[in-house]
Every structure is written in C-alpha cells, then in structure tokens.
Amino acid sequence: MQQEIIAAVRDAGVVGAGGAGFPTHIKLNAMVDTVIANGAECEPLLRAHQQVMAAESDKVVAGLAAVMLATGAGRGVIGLKRKYADAAAKLTAALEKLGDRRLELFFLPDFYPAGDEQVLVHEVTRRIVPEGGIPLNVGAVVANVETLVNVAGALAGKAVTGKYLTVTGEVAQPLTIKAPVGISVRAAIALAGGATVGDFAIIDGGPMMGKLVAPEAVVTKTTGGFIVLPRHHPVIAQKAASLKIIANRAKAACCNCRGCTDSCPRYLLGHGLEPHRIMQVIGGGLQDSAAVTRALLCSECGACEAYGCTMGLSPRRINAELKAQLAKAGVKNPHRAEITQARWERDYRRIPTKRLVARLGLEKYDRPAPLVTAGVAPAEVRLPLAQHIGAPACPVVRIGDQVAAGDLVAVIPQGAAVGANLHASIAGEIFAVEGFIGIRAGNRAGRDGQ
C-alpha cells in the first residue's frame, strides 16, 4: 500500500505547500511513529491554512490517514491554534466521522514560530530534532495541512493545479482564494479589489520569512499569500536593505546584548546556534569558525531581527548570507549534537503573536481575510519549471499544444533524485516553453484538477 500511495502522490505533483516545496512522495518513503499535520500558520496576517482546515476538513483528515498508512505511523496529530475555532469544530466533526482514535487535534499556544517544524515536533512529541537534522530523525513526519488536502486529491486522481493563498495588507478587500498555479501577483491583488496606496511593495509569504516580489511574479505551489504594504513601511525597508547596508549596520551598532540569541527558537530548543556570536564575528572581525558554521543551523525565521534586536539589525540576513557562502565553498554542517532537553527559559521566551504584530507595525492590517470560493479564471498562466526543491521539471509539451486543466505538462527529469511533476492549471494553448510553461486560456473544457 505504501508504494501505491507514493506513486499517486508523485504522479499528482504534490510538494510541501507551506515551505520550500520538498516533494511529498519522497517524504512518504519512510517509516515513523508519528505524523503531524502543520496547521499552526504562525506568520502574521496570513489566513489560508486555517481556511483550508475549515473548508477542507474531511480531506485534511483523509490525507493525514493516508500518510499514516504510507509511513506506518500509529499516531496522527493535527497541530493548530485554539483561536482557529471554526477549523477546530470542522476538524473535530471530521475526526468523529472517521472514527479512528489514532488521530487527534493538538492545540498550540499562540506564539511565533509555532509552525517551524522542529518547534512543532517538540510541542507535540516533546522530542528535539538534533542539530542539522529533520523530524524523521526523531520518528516523525510533518506535512502542511494543504499538502494533506493535495495528498487526498492525488489518491482520487487529481493533480495539484491550484493554491490557497491570502491577499491582504493595503488592499480594498482582504481575502483568501484558491487560485490556479501560475496566475500573476498583479491578478491576485486585483481579486482583492486592488492596492489602496499608490507606492507599494509586495511580500510573497509572511512578513517574517516572505520575500519581496514584483507584480509580474506568479503564484507557485508554495505561495502562502501576498501582503501589500506602503513602500516606506519598516517591514519593507528591512527586506529591501542591501546586504552591504546590513553588514555595515552590524559592524557599527551591534552591542552584543544577546537579544537575538535569547529570542532564537533553535537556541531555545537547545541547539548551539548563537546569533550574537556570529554578529561579533562580523562586527569585530573575531576568528571563530565554530560560530560561523553554526549559521547553518539557522531556520531564517526572523525572530532575531523582528523581535530580539532593539537596534534594527538583521542577524537573519547575516546568517542567510553565511549559509550561502558556506554552501558555495562546499562546507557541510559540522554540528550534529543530539539534544535531550530544551533550555529552561524556553517557555518564558515564546513570542506572542499579537505582540509580534504590534512590533512589526502591522496592527491595522491584522483583519479577517475570508475564503472566497468563486472560480478564478485568468486569461493566462505561467508555470515555473522549478517550484520545488530538486531538479526543475522537464517539459513534455510544445508551443501550440492544446491542454486541459490537470494535463501533465512537465515531468521529473530522468535520473533526478528529487523532483516533481507539473500540470496545467487552466485549459488552453501552450504559448511558451522557456524556464516556464505559458498557457493562454482557450475553449477546451478542462478536467477537474482544481
């Protein structure tokens, strides 16, 4: 049964919907005792995952049960915040309908970053993923709730062609939609009534870990939302600052107060990551190779810069650059300590979500973004061949071909260890095959791949 589930998930092009896009069929090729559905959605302002849990509760539960079957797990847990009352009620009803007592809800405190998979594993199981490790190292698999919906769809023969996402911030009507993969950011913002300020910037993802994108960028399988903010907003200014400016600020202003380290979720789990020591290396030219290579333990959650540092510095950006340079130099993570106990102060240093929203200056944008179920029918889509970790998909269509929604348009390259299939998200004619597959809407009826 495991191989049948894996094959269906592979064929459907399912990847992690809430993170970097790791192909799900690879994750399922393991044996664990616990599967955790990640419904924490801890990034401020985003609402898609709580909407998914409410609207697709039966599929979330079905997908969780399928992943348990594939991995041999005896426990399935849906981790979510108690404040997601509608989702909790719908999931409770779905669990009761299934009648499998191995599946349960787990209510998380309202803190950031509850959705970090290592933090979530510890909250649910009290186990600590070792330095440089993954949940599999402690007998767990973590899957985003939308990923589980897609797993359930895969078992019903449906490919991944749509993405739940929130559009919020400086827009007329914040909302959550299920959009065809490949529509433009501009089109998604238009569905929310358009921007309400003239000079704005767009974050793809949350204000903590999201990145700035242009209106011409497109929705991918991993998009969680778009946040429109005035270009002068501090969150935008921090993300737009050049690495040179970030490094110079570190050299000039870091006083080694430890605020970054004391707020670091990985440090609080017991890992050896100490951002303030890395800042010492950058600011004072200290020779401390162990501190530098510990940047490889950073999850880039941004707690250090948004909450820990009072000087407006960005240890996260410094760590990200060090990680990139170390990877380019072929340096592997040397830190693999097994951790048996979190630091005693961890429970007292959780970052309350409401306080984080206030610290970010986003209170006026912290408002509902209801799910709108009306169909989204774009004139065209552009499907990047690389929407996941691993090798870009290899096109199997040509310019001029007619496709239906759900048709396979690109496949995992032969011999690639990691990759994902790609499917048409709308019906129409192929107009481009060049790093992306472009489809212009046509009259051919599409299959139900949404």
Tell me: the pLDDT tens digits for 340-352?
999 999 999 999 9
135 and 172 together in one domain:
no
Nearest to 53 by CA among 16, 89, 97, 99: 89
For residue 75, what is the domain's CATH number? 3.40.50.11540
119 and 141 together in one domain:
yes
Specify the pLDDT at position 375.
80
Domain that holds residue 422: 380-441
Helix (H, G, I), strand (E, B) or coil at 182: coil
Could you give the CA distance from residue 154 to residue 423 in angstroms, rounded to a whole number? 12
pLDDT in tens, 301-313: 999 999 999 999 9
136 and 254 together in one domain:
no
- What's the pTM? 0.95
Mean of the per-residue pLDDT values of the chain: 95
Could you give the CA distance from residue 14 to residue 156 in angstroms, rounded to a whole number? 13
At 289, the pLDDT band (50, 70, 90 cuts) reads: confident
Is the residue at 239 inside a domain?
A: no
328 and 412 together in one domain:
no
Instruction: Examine the pLDDT at 30 and tell me if it is beyond 60.
Output: yes
Is the residue at 447 inside a domain?
A: no
The mean pLDDT value for 142-160 works out to 98
290 and 337 together in one domain:
yes
Tokens of 140: 């767990």
pLDDT in tens, 65-83: 999 999 999 999 999 999 9
Q: How many domains, the chain? A: 4
Instruction: Examine the pLDDT at 447 and tell me if it is beyond 70.
Output: no
222 and 368 together in one domain:
yes
131 and 16 together in one domain:
yes
Nearest to 164 by CA among 87, 49, 335: 49
For residue 391, what is the domain's CATH number? 2.40.50
Is the residue at 35 inside a domain?
A: yes
Is the residue at 413 inside a domain?
A: yes
Specify the pLDDT at position 20.
84
Instruction: Examine the pLDDT at 450 and tell me if it is beyond 50.
Output: no
77 and 183 together in one domain:
no
For residue 207, what is the domain's CATH number? 3.10.20.600
At 5, the pLDDT band (50, 70, 90 cuts) reads: very high
pLDDT in tens, 356-366: 999 999 999 99
219 and 368 together in one domain:
yes
Instruction: Examine the pLDDT at 174 and tell me if it is beyond 50.
Output: yes
End of a domain among 318, 338, 372?
A: 372
368 and 387 together in one domain:
no
Instruction: Examine the pLDDT at 444 and tell me if it is beyond 60.
Output: no
Per-residue buried b or exposed e for 37-52, using 16+ beta carbons within 10 Å of the residue's own CB = bbbbbbbbbbbbbbbb
Contact between 37 and 49 under an 8 Å Cβ cutoff? The reply is no
- For the CA atoms of the chain, what is the radius of gyration? 22
8 and 120 together in one domain:
yes
Contact between 15 and 222 under an 8 Å Cβ cutoff? The reply is yes
Q: How many CA atoms lie within 13 A of 173 on its CB side?
A: 10
The mean pLDDT value for 91-113 works out to 97
CA distances (Å), origin 4, targets 266, 410, 421: 36, 21, 17
Percent of the chain surpassing pLDDT 70: 98
Specify the pLDDT at position 446.
41
Specify the pLDDT at position 442.
80
Percent of the chain surpassing pLDDT 90: 91
22 and 141 together in one domain:
yes
Specify the pLDDT at position 286.
64
Instruction: Examine the pLDDT at 443 and tell me if it is beyond 70.
Output: no
Is the residue at 144 inside a domain?
A: yes
Is the residue at 75 inside a domain?
A: yes
Is the residue at 238 inside a domain?
A: no
Tokens of 241: 């600052």
Could you give the CA distance from residue 434 to residue 103 in angstroms, rounded to a whole number? 44
Is the residue at 208 inside a domain?
A: yes
End of a domain among 155, 171, 195?
A: 155
Specify the pLDDT at position 19.
79
CA distances (Å), origin 169, targets 47, 87, 199: 12, 23, 13
Contact between 243 and 317 under an 8 Å Cβ cutoff? The reply is yes
CB neighbour class for 107 (10 Å; exposed up to 12, middle 13-18, buried from 19): middle
Could you give the CA distance from residue 424 to residue 162 in angstroms, rounded to a whole number? 10
Residue 250 or 298, more confident:
298
